[in-house]
Amino acid sequence: MILFAVLLSSTNFLDRIMLALTYHFLEGSSQGKSIILFTVMGSLLLFYPLFRVDGWIGSRLSNLATIFKFKDKKYLKFTILILVFTYLIGMLIEIIIRFKLGVSPFTTFIAYNSNSYSSTALTHSHAFKSMLGFIIESIGIHINSGINAGTPLVPYTLPLALIVFITYPFIYIGGIISVANEKMLLYKILIAFAITLSLIGVLDGGLFSTPALIGLATLLGIFFIKKPFKAKDLLKPSLIIIILIIVRVSLGIMGTNTVVHEITIINPSENIDLNGYNVINVQKEENKTIITVPGKTNDKLLLMNLTRDLKGKTSGFFLSWNIYSFV
């Protein structure tokens, strides 16, 4: 799996095949997510013997202190808690960005830098992906054009997003110990898969993304399952995931404005021209311009057009939602 990830990172001919195979659980798989999938899951399955209670690392860790003792599903519970905490911090970052700039939380944000752009929203967050961009930007690593590392978001997500450098390793370590101490081979594979999806969800999408929901559902399912297996063991994890899906849809409905789309342009230049968008109203403030256009246009189409047309004319912009425009 790790060798396959190396192959993916150095070539492009497998991109379409991987998109078809992973699209439904990676939520529109990109080359970057596929590379992470095979690298992380492969490493979990390769190195977990070291973390067994009789393994080279596991034996030393469990003997450090009572708190580190390996107990049934103890580390799986720890991993789930750290994972959920990280997701919630990601949502908090999204709210703080909009609060600082005086914008509604029910908006999609596009940030620019000299080379690229990146998007983020409460319902699909890239707040922690920006920290991947932060590392890449700091050490000057070149990445393929098919991988968006969220670099333009860095000025808006620092310093709170730095917490991912603490929680991310904890999730991985807790996950690999959970794999090591699970007796059933099927559960080992499922935990490794779920941890990998969860780590991808942290970087790309946040709590309400498909990888996050599938990963969390799998981890919760294995945590609540008892021996012998009973179907009712899956009731609690199913209820939790259903609630999260309802919250996700509710946020979309709550934030919807069907009458107009509100475009909030941050630090606009003097030569912004949106005449082709049937502009209804323009309101200028200190460091931003608020433009309203008819709300019937599909959100995704409008976002793509604005991202193209505002490039080089602003440091970023927010677009209000209309969830019904997709119907």
DSSP H helices, the chain, are 2-10, 15-26, 31-47, 56-62, 74-100, 129-139, 154-157, 164-180, 185-203, 210-224, 235-254, 299-309
* Confidence grade of residue 72 (pLDDT, cut at 50, 70, 90): confident
SS3 181: coil
Reply yes or no on whether the pLDDT at 231 is more than 90.
Answer: no
Reply yes or no on whether the pLDDT at 151 is more than 60.
Answer: yes
Give the model confidence (pLDDT) of 22-40 as tens digits: 877 887 656 778 888 999 9
Reply yes or no on whether the pLDDT at 214 is more than 80.
Answer: yes
Environment class of 325 (CB within 10 Å of its CB; exposed 0-12, middle 13-18, buried 19+)? middle
Reply yes or no on whether the pLDDT at 146 is more than 60.
Answer: no
Reply yes or no on whether the pLDDT at 11 is more than 80.
Answer: no
Average pLDDT over residues 241-248: 96
Reply yes or no on whether the pLDDT at 213 is more than 70.
Answer: yes
Average pLDDT over residues 193-204: 95
Ordered by where they begin, the domains of the chain are 2-87+163-253 (no CATH), 260-326 (3.30.70)
Confidence at residue 235, expressed as pLDDT on a 0 to 100 scale: 94
For residue 38, CA distances in Å to 25, 82, 108, 194 come to 14, 23, 30, 12
For residue 112, CA distances in Å to 119, 133, 178, 255, 266 come to 9, 13, 40, 24, 10
Average pLDDT over residues 235-256: 94
CA distance 284 to 273: 14
